[in-house]
Structure 1
């Protein structure tokens, strides 16, 4: 790591002013930024610690909506009884992420801004070609070992998979992010994450000098009847080979009134599986209908040399998650 200046923000206005300066990075739990600094990917001149800003760690579960402060930790949220009842997919996604030590430190805001776990991105000493680090330098993963890489939302510039779990659940259920900056604004999670196209270094719509302050999630029948399934090589501290956040609203005759599906581990950003939702809405909730609809999860997918298994795995993960949520598993 290079030398850098450190300061601790005592109020939001101070944090925003500091964050707008070139070469400055925001520190909350530190589980992402410090890791990238050790890898040599990030080299900020100044780090601003916002971990002690007031009024940014609350969890409020209301009748119509849920609001979570961006400085709430993953552990606090995953263990919150009201949140577990209202949004099981969200708390399951948090509980299955990382390790207990990291969940105790990592904040929700930082988690939403975590960067890819692509080994080529995280090893600048060995691999200089990475369009996420240096646009126009190339993508070493395209011809390299790409077993963990994306099959959806890729481009000729980047096939790195988005690694998070929380954002996948938030994507499924229409969450919004409250963002402070020169002008306070609210952004849909669906529009917050960018596709790589020819600028994979630009991963979100968060502008310099802006800070995520809170997450807002509308309460719905589908959210209350939701499930998060994560399939990975080992049971702890492992990123998803494929994951699915799903929710269901069923009529008395078991017709699907509403369904929400989002994917993780298989796309360059949290991925809403609209074709699955469209195929299942209005149908009877049967295993045959679920499995048929789940095949649509890989519509438009493009596999590479080592990740073709995800074409078969992803629909199975979606079907299993839906059947778990609907009581067929």
Structure 2
């Protein structure tokens, strides 16, 4: 079982052609992405007892994601995304983030889980961020931990606070993914790749096994103990970029799980990945992101769709 902890949102997407509502939230998208790649996964987050909350639960269940936490009495969080003519998204948020009593229920919910992923708003916004950090600290001795800061400066405006929060999670994580934009905001004036190299050293022998930087059309780059590598971004016509990073993250983790490297007992093997194996992971994840950007919304690929993209990209894109 894989576990994802984080925010669930409803994305209200505004385009020149009209407005649509879609279930989203970075961690939720990762959970759906993992499930569509045929991994058993549970999502621990919050959503309201309202129409939007019902759509969140239905969306997760439609992809066979388990929901150990039911709805609460607060409104479901909403993210409004404005899509420009180039397909890029700009966000504003109306959020409630808390997980009361999580510490008491967590040992039961994490039984049998071999990987815990979190990130984004859930790791930044009080009061829930403290509960998420406690969950990661609890899980770390037995579980592979992954983290994606997915920074939202429109919500967390204090970069110093955000940097401190991010570094707490990086030090506990085995797999870290960040965009070049995340790193440029967190460490102004520093080459994002230098920041990633620095993160690799966090936590000493208990810190990250690999750090990945996504760079849009320039393709992803990664560093681990064996060295550094990158792959090109597959050429696709971009519908929009919503959820692309989350699809990348899900496929990256799927690749780790497919290699049997999840679980704290496999940390040594995860750290020993060759640059060739790291490159394969990057290419797999980049292909998943390419499927997502080729169609509207945060719509991660199934395993069959991802396989088509890897083996016959033109056919895969034309089928979307």
- What is the TM-score when the length of structure 2 is the normalising length? 0.28
TM-score of the superposition, structure 1-length normalised? 0.28
Structure with the larger helix share: 2
Tell which structure's C-alpha radius of gyration is larger: 1
